Amino acid sequence: MPTFVYMTRCDGCGHCVDICPSDIMHIDKKYRRALNIEPNMCWECYSCVKACPHQAIDVRGYADFAPLGHSVRVLRDERKGTIAWRVKFRDGRVKNFLSPITTKPWGSAIPDFRNEAEPTQAERDSELLAFEPESIRLDDGGLHTLESNGLKLKEGVYY
Amino acid sequence: MGYKTITEDNIDILVVGAGLGGTGAAYEARHWGRDKKVVIAEKANIDRSGAVAQGLYAINCYMGTRWGENNPEDHVRYARMDLMGMVREDLAFDMARHVDSAVHKFEEWGLPLMKDPKRADLPEGDIGKGAYMREGRWQIMIHGESYKPIVAEAAKVNADKTFNRIMVTHLLMDDAQDNRIAGAVGFNVRTGNYHVFKSKTVICGAGGASNIFKPRSVGEGAGRVWYAPWSSGSAYALMIEAGAKMTQMENRIVLARFKDGYGPVGAYFLHLHTYTQNAYGDEYESKWFPALTKMVGKAYLDTENQHFSHKPIPTCLRNHAFISEVAAGRGPIHMVTVEAFQDPHLEEVGWENFLGMTVGQAVLWAATDIDPKYINPELTTSEPYVMGSHATGCGAWCSGPKDISGDIPEYFWGYNRMMTVDGLFGAGDAVGGTPHAFSSGSFTEGRLSAKAACKYIDDGKANGINVSQKQIDDRKEEIYKPLETYQVGSNEIVGGTVSPSYILPFPGLQRLQKLMDEYAGGVTVQYMTNDKLLNMGLAKLAILEEDLEKVGAEDIHQLLRAWELKHRHRTSECVVQHTLFREETRWPGYYYRGDKMKLDDDNWHVLTTSQRDRTTGEYKMEKQPLYHLVDEK
């Protein structure tokens, strides 16, 4: 079963239940810990693995084609802005990878439009979107149109 | 049933489904609608929902007009060629001229875009100053593990409310005015509560369809579908049932990918310069092309001049060569990685590519001791998928923007990305005829929809929305029926899953997949179908629809699966109707009409549309004209 949960590590906090895009991480009623209730609807997306504060969730590849004896572990650190992977092959070889996940402190650079200037009527009547046209080319160039690019739409067979 | 009804009233803009399209809509809606009530209804958790939930290692649609790389029309011509001519070029141009602004904002918000310090082709002042690392002409490489949570933040900050875990089952229609949208209903997949959203406009950002054709892996591995298993065709079912006109629904896509894990090949081909060969180490594509040129015509595949014309070979035609070579007994096809992987940088890119967006492929290689530095991995062609944002253009028939589409009556009716239902807009998989939008283009479509929806409201078009209590009550009864069916029926039997009175969602899904596979051109029949098979398929889908009235759900989780199945069924019906209507083989390698094996530009250089009658369920099929972008001179 793609994701599974180690009995002794899980404390039933439910972070995995909260994040699973497929709604398949549930809390077992008897043990009060998480489990994957529908392995064949699991994408191995690792959202639950990354969200688990106790590294209690792991993945065992799909039984139809993946032999036992491997592991792909991950540690995602929002504060550092990094993700670390360890790939362990069936024959014991190991590969490690480290990547950035963000360049800014979480949420700090997202605009709340309620704090920004209201768009003008001219902007409303134009084809421009928020922060355009500057955000398209980051210079003083305008929005491309059929006219500006010397084009027209013509019915028929053209390749 | 003891579930509460929770009503959210006076919504101006309701975003149904917040993947990349829906998040773009919620974000932009706040800019143009400062005083408007913007609400999101999302089936999962917005931080990890939609096709980008797992992350992405590339943004596949970035023009780079900033660096003088491409103009929007270049991208339109590329998409046109890849889709064998079948693109809404007005919508594609519109998306392409805005898409860079979304990408630049993503970078500002913290998404790590890789930089290329060696870009000598750039204007002098820009070299080394942060030009993005290109994977291919349209693709840039990113460290996108957190792509979705970063973008979701922009939607959450700007929406008034975000409802997670709401499975939207139906759109609401205005009871006072014909063909006008009035909101949506659904249920919370955790509490079971009934949710009613009354809204002046709806932007449909729900997903395309995986799992409607029988997948190659039918055990645990059924979850490792190429498109996310939670993409339940809801975008299409919601719109079809609201009576929206659909387009290009026959244009399903088949992917050539790493076997079983369906790991992506884009970076491998474009950045790592790996290539394919058959089991005996031979190049195989070119030998299939002369016969293929006879099927599709020299305009679409010109093997002698293709590399001079700089036109890419369409994805479906490369699939055709792959499928033909395997059928000829020279499979499997391998990706030759052992050369590229000797370079440690490229090896790292190759692995991180999977870890960033398809971890399952890395799991599989670890499990099977495949290190692509020493072993060339196998490729396969996938089961078909129905969607509208990758290299295919299924979706709703939408209006274009005034300055581009204004003179074409078939392409323009007032509001950008509005469907043929008043007040219903779309983004991403929901919008038809706009392939190659990918993540950034879907986000852009959401933005375009949101601006148009604000204008629609400001123009007074949404005044006096009226939803009767009867409509709300009827939907409620319909939604919870599978729970009741199960409760009653299960008393009849000792136990187990076999009942004469109901079918459970999973066996129902398997029936749909088998039917679509065998009658509509899935993997077990080598993507082959014909008019007879399609008509038989429609008859079987009609019987399945009767049985889906008796789908049983043991609990709320199964109720979710039951409604996903109903959405997949409705999507499938529309796919088969369209496949039957287009009497040609337009995309060999995606599917074949055995009775019409040639591409037929005389009769079928058109877009197909369908409209399902809301009361009778009858489909009305039509041809729509294709307008192409040409030089004014």
Q: What is the pTM of this model?
A: 0.97
Range of the domain at A56: 1-66
For B81, the token pair is: 């060629």
Cα B72 from chain centre: 21
Number of domains within chain B? 2
Q: Can you tell me the distance from the alpha carbon of B387 to that of B30, in angstroms, rounded to the nearest whole number?
A: 28
Contact between residue B91 and residue B435 where contact means Cβ atoms under 8 Å apart: no
| B interface test, pick of A26, A46, A90, A93 with most B CB neighbours within 10 Å | A46
Q: Is B482 on the interface with A (CB under 8 A)?
A: no
Tell me: do A62 and A2 sit in the same domain: yes
Q: Is residue B124 predicted with pLDDT exceeding 70?
A: no
- Could you give the ipTM of this predicted complex? 0.97
Cβ atoms of residues B476 and B186 within 8 Å: no
Neighbours of B136 (CB within 10 A): 15
Closest CA of chain B from A11, distance in Å = 20
Torsion-angle region of B164 (φ positive above 0: left; ψ -120 to 50: alpha; else: beta): beta
Which of B145, B298, B458, B627 has the most A C-beta neighbours within 10 Å, making it the best mutation to test the interface with A?
A: B145
Residues A51 and A25 in one domain: yes
Over residues B72-117, the pLDDT tens digits come to 999 999 999 999 999 999 999 999 999 999 999 999 999 999 988 7
CB contacts, 8 Å: B217 with chain A = 62, 64-65
Cβ of A89 and B371 within 8 Å? Answer: yes
- Contact status of B150 with chain A (Cβ, < 8 Å): yes
Residues A57 and A21 in one domain: yes
- The helix/strand count (H/E) of chain B reads as 18, 20
**At B351, which CATH number?**
3.90.700.10
Q: Which A residues in the span 49-68 are in contact with B, Cβ-Cβ below 8 Å?
A: 59, 61-68
Residues A6, A61, single domain; the answer is: yes
Q: Is A43 a catalytic residue?
A: yes
Q: Does B247 reside within a domain?
A: no
The CATH number given to whatever domain includes residue B599 is 1.20.58.100
- The yes-or-no verdict on residue B120 having pLDDT over 60 is no
In a domain? residue B393: no
Is residue A154 domain-resident?
no
Mark whether B363 and B497 lie in a shared domain. Answer: no
Stretch B185-189: mean pLDDT: 98
Residue by residue, DSSP assigns B249-303 as: TT--B--EEETTT----HHHHHTS--EEE-TTS---HHHHHHHHHHHH-TTT--T
Within-domain flag for A138: yes
Check residue B131 and give its pLDDT: 80
For residues B360 and B497, state if they share a domain. Answer: no
pLDDT at B442: 98
Mutation target to probe the B interface, by most B beta carbons within 10 A, among A137, A140, A148 is A137
Q: For residue B353, what are the domain limits?
A: 257-381
**Are residue A95 and residue A135 in the same domain, yes or no?**
no
Three-state DSSP state, B336 = strand
Residue B577 in domain: yes
Does the pLDDT value for residue B128 go beyond 50? no
Mean pLDDT over B239-248 rounds to 98
Q: What is the mean pLDDT of chain B?
A: 95
pLDDT digits (tens, 9 = 90+) for B28-56: 999 999 999 999 999 999 999 999 999 99
- CATH number of the domain that A5 lies in? 3.30.70.20
**A157 vs B contacts (CB less than 8 Å):** 85, 601, 605, 626
| Nearest residue in chain A measured CA to CA from B402 | A127
Which residues of chain B from 20 to 59 reach within 8 Å of chain A, CB to CB? Answer: 27-28, 30-32, 34, 44-45, 47-50, 53-54
Residue finishing a domain among B381, B411, B428: B381
A92 three-class SS: coil
**CA atoms within 13 A of residue A113's CA, in its CB half-sphere:** 24
Check whether B308 has a pLDDT greater than 70. no
In this model, does residue A48 exceed pLDDT 80? yes
% residues pLDDT > 70 (chain A) = 99
Domain boundary among B348, B381, B414: B381
- Residue B119 pLDDT: 66
Question: Is residue A34 domain-shared with residue A11, that is, in the same domain?
Answer: yes
Are A76 and B560 in contact (CB < 8 Å)? no
Of the candidates A46, A62, A131, the beta carbon closest to that of B101 is on A131
Q: Is B344 on the interface with A (CB under 8 A)?
A: no
Please indicate, yes or no, whether residues A82 and A37 belong to a single structural domain of this protein: no
CB within 8 Å: B369 and A90: yes
- The answer to whether B66 contacts A138, with C-beta atoms less than 8 Å apart, is yes
Q: Which residues of B595-624 are buried (b: 16+ CB within 10 A; e: fewer)?
A: ebeebebeebbbbbbbbbeeeeeebeeeeb
Can the peptide bond before residue B117 be classed as cis, meaning omega within 30 degrees of 0? no
In a domain, B284, yes or no: yes
* A40 and A17 inside one domain: yes
Residues A7 and A28 occupy one common structural domain = yes
Q: Does A7 touch chain B (CB under 8 A)?
A: no
Min CA distance, B37 vs chain A (Å)? 12
Is it the case that residue B471 has pLDDT exceeding 80?
A: yes
In this structure, the answer to whether residues A24 and A3 fall within a common structural domain is yes
- What's the structural domain count of chain A? 3
pLDDT at A146 over 80: yes
Distance from CA of A62 to the nearest CA of B (A): 5
For residues A24 and B555, what is the distance between their CA atoms, to the nearest angstrom?
13
Taking only the tens place, the pLDDT of each residue in B361-382 is 999 999 999 999 999 999 999 9
**Which listed residue (A6, A31, A43, A106) is catalytic?**
A43
The reply to whether A22 and A56 lie within a common domain is yes
Provide the shortest C-alpha distance from residue A8 to chain B (in Å): 24
Mean pLDDT across the stretch A14-42?
97
Query: What integer is the mean pLDDT of A34-42?
Result: 97
Minimum CA–CA partner of A91 in chain B: B369
| B209 within a domain of the structure (yes/no) | no
A131 contact B CB<8A: yes
Same domain, A2 and A46: yes
Is the CB of residue A14 less than 8 Å away from at least one CB of chain B? no
DSSP tag of B497: S
Tokens 């370079």 correspond to: B343
Of B324, B346, B381, which marks where a domain is finished?
A: B381
Pairing assessment for the beta strands A94-100 and A82-88 based on DSSP bridges? antiparallel
DSSP class of residue B385 equals B
Closest Cα in chain B, distance from residue A2 (Å): 7
Nearest residue, CB atoms, B44 vs list A21, A150, A151? A21
Q: Is the pLDDT of residue B311 over 90?
A: no
pLDDT on residue B199: 98
Element containing residue B590 per DSSP (H, E):
none
Do residues B370 and B478 share a domain?
A: no
